[in-house]
Amino acid sequence: MVRLKVRWLALSFEWEERTSLPPLTSTHLMEALRESLEENFGEMGLGRNLSRLKVIYFSPATGFGVIRCARTYYQLVWAALTLMTSIGGVRVAIQVIHCSGTIKRLQTEVIGSLRTWLEAFKTILTKRNPNLKGPALDLRLSEAQRHFDEAEKAIMTLTI
């Protein structure tokens, strides 16, 4: 029996308007990805990828996601993601930050990227808002830490 080999793609999302995001789910991402595959690579490109294509993790709050796809056609999926301009009617730029053959390696890379994101958020928050101190600052930092903890927990529990 031949095992079907997959690739895991870690994604970073840059939203045009982060403050007013509608409730987006992994279903919205999957629909947008299917549309992009069909639009850019036709029915052949879509058909080749549907069998192993799955959104494993998607968090609009942190701007990270994980997709599993067939190893043979991962470059088509990568290109379709890069060419996507919106998810659920919200304008977005998607960047593949890591491609891996194992979920364990992908987990370590994504957790590292999330830590970098959290530190950058803290730095930007304190530099852009020098008057933000005390409970207001603590509230924003604790909210960012909560998003990080939720994402880290979800990513560490990823399974095939």
Report pLDDT digits (tens) over 112-122.
888 888 888 88
CA 50 to chain centre: 19
Find, among 23, 12, 156, the residue nearest to 88 by Cα.
23
pLDDT score of 28: 92
What is the distance between the terminal CA atoms of the chain, rounded to a whole angstrom?
18
Domains, the chain, ranges and CATH? 6-156 (3.30.70.3250)
7 in Cβ contact with 55 (< 8 Å): no
CA 125/CA 82 separation, integer angstroms: 28
Q: Tell me: pLDDT of 151 over 90.
A: no
**How confident is the model over 102-146, as pLDDT tens digits?**
888 888 888 888 888 888 888 887 787 777 777 777 777 888 888
45 in Cβ contact with 97 (< 8 Å): no
CA distance readout (Å), 75 to 14, 72, 90, 149, 151: 21, 8, 24, 31, 26
User: Is this prediction's pTM over 0.75?
Assistant: yes
38 in Cβ contact with 45 (< 8 Å): yes
